[in-house]
Amino acid sequence: MPDQSQVSMPIDINSVKGFLSPAEGNTLFECAREMPRGSVALEIGSYCGKSTVYLGLGCKKAQSTLFAVDHHRGSEEHQAGELFHDPELVDETGAFSTLANFRSTIRSAGLDDTVIPVLSSSAQFARVWQGSLSLVFIDGGHSLDAALLDYRSWVGFIPGNGRLAIHDVYPDSETGGQAPITIYRLALASGLFREVAAVDSLRVLERL
């Protein structure tokens, strides 16, 4: 991958709720920008849209499309009483929901023509998906079962030279959960991928 350049943002990206560092975001932008023209990327786990903006802006440069898949009810760690629960993201029914924030972010970033939101779990969407994906970004549920399901549902759609990006890869269990690094190691052990970038907790692999 080439040297990263600072992404020109149409919105104040720091105001968007999320857990992505600027360096990780720039890397995602470059991955999407380098996609073949007219190809498709998939994001698993959009939250309030921070990573979606970086990916979407890269796809816009590549004249490509991003499917942003999220049920928008939060992962296990976002529920009431859990470590990453945000009471500002509770809807009128009392349930955790990031959907309104996500839609506002995408609209403000001018990405309505590039990003296609999919209100679904990734496994449900994978059952009806057809075609290849030049880039898959996994940042969904961080339980081992959820991460494995995301990986197994989508890895087969990545063609040669396509890329798999995984967020929250922490070698030390005291730093972060171990589900993302488990699927990262599975991908490398499969012999189908090589690592092309490691930025903070983001890992980018390329299909051989």
| Cβ 133 vs Cβ 31: under 8 Å | no
Give Cβ neighbours of residue 84 (< 8 Å, ≥ 6 apart). Answer: 19, 77, 78
> What mean pLDDT comes out for the span 62-90?
80
Average pLDDT, the chain: 92
> What mean pLDDT comes out for the span 163-183?
88
| Cβ 143 vs Cβ 151: under 8 Å | no
Question: Between 39 and 175, whose confidence is greater?
Answer: 39
pTM, full prediction: 0.92
pLDDT tier for residue 4 given thresholds of 50, 70 and 90: low
pLDDT of residue 91: 76
pLDDT at 2 over 50: no
Domain spans of the chain, in order of start: 39-207
39-207: in CATH 3.40.50.150: yes
The catalytic site residues sit at 142
Span 40-50, pLDDT tens digits: 999 999 999 99
Share of the chain above pLDDT 90, in %: 78
Rounded CA-CA distance 100/148 in Å is 28
Span 79-112, pLDDT tens digits: 666 666 767 778 778 787 899 999 999 999 999 9
Of the candidates 43, 50, 46, which has an alpha carbon nearest to the alpha carbon of residue 9? 50
